[in-house]
Structure 1
């Protein structure tokens, strides 16, 4: 009887600990892309973009990233590649057409983990909105590549969205934070 009580207590504590875990999602737009050929729908990164990809890997190197998601475009995959290589993580491809479903997939598959999502100027904010119900800023312009959004989700707690910049600066917004109650 005593063993059953101990096992039940351990199970209860473990269940509580798992339900209280924080899921952290880092979201960035792909780094600078080559724009010399307007007909090229899948351009590579520029030299500056390659450097930004390295800067992203350096910025997130100490984080315990367990999954990396990109779209099927070279520019998103090449932005994530230095971090994926450093952490020996296979990049997962997501379809940006249904970002609400993707947000649910992120939360279901990665509860309690830290993940990176590399998207586009027209998908990053929509993904954040699907996760927390509100965009932290109104838009990401075509010239802005340096935003790093960090979404922290914990059941029963406020959801936090932190905004930072990484690599070479191309925006004036520093250290903004948005909070939303669950």
Structure 2
């Protein structure tokens, strides 16, 4: 019996996260700056993202420690009264472990070079490489499946 329980526990750890995870790249910024603020189009996109989440449950919001990710999440964090959780964008495995341990649906605001890895490591289909001008997309990952949607143009 103990062996069966131990095997079941190992399988549960190896399975992808079953809670829904939303992964979005930060919104519109100027090219080539280290830690820019969102452009007006990015601020409008952040409001569109907040509207996209109306009626959807969120238990946590993860952002990197950059202005553009914090500003992308700001309308949602304000509306939900959630304090964003800062993660290190250089350590995707640690972030994914935290996401899998979080109960309930979560939002991750990432970067062009982190979003594909995050989606894939959560068990979803890896998105193609993102270019600087790729803004307004969201990937929804649940139970090892992912789907892609647009929330802003």
Q: What TM-score range do you get, normalising by the shorter chain?
A: 0.7 to 0.9
Partner residue in 2 for 1:32: 28
Q: 2:105 aligns with which of 101, 114, 123?
A: 114
Question: Larger deviation: 92-101 or 47-56?
Answer: 92-101
Q: Secondary structure at the match of 2:59?
A: strand
| Structure 2, gaps ≥5 residues long | 1-16
| In 1: Cα distance, 2:66 partner to 2:122 partner | 23
| Structure 1, gaps ≥5 residues long | 1-20, 154-158, 169-182
Displaced runs of 4+ in structure 1, greater than 3 A? none
- Cα deviation per residue 1:129-174 (whole Å; 9 max; x = unaligned)? 1111641x22111111111100012xxxxx2201001111xxxxxx
Partner residue in 1 for 2:52: 59
Is 1:160 the equivalent of 2:145?
yes
Matches within 5 A, 1:130-149: 130-132=121-123, 134-135=125-126, 137-149=127-139
Q: 2:89 aligns with which of 80, 83, 96?
A: 96
Partner residue in 1 for 2:12: none
- Normalising by structure 2, report the TM-score: 0.84
User: What RMSD in Å do the two structures reach over aligned CA positions?
Assistant: 1.5
- Normalising by structure 1, report the TM-score: 0.71
State the 1:22 CA deviation. 4.1
Residue-pair matches, total: 137
| In 1: Cα distance, 2:78 partner to 2:87 partner | 19
Q: Which structure is richer in relative contact order (CA contacts within 8 A, separation 6 or more)?
A: 2
Question: 1:61 touches 1:83 (CA, 8 Å); kept in 2?
Answer: no
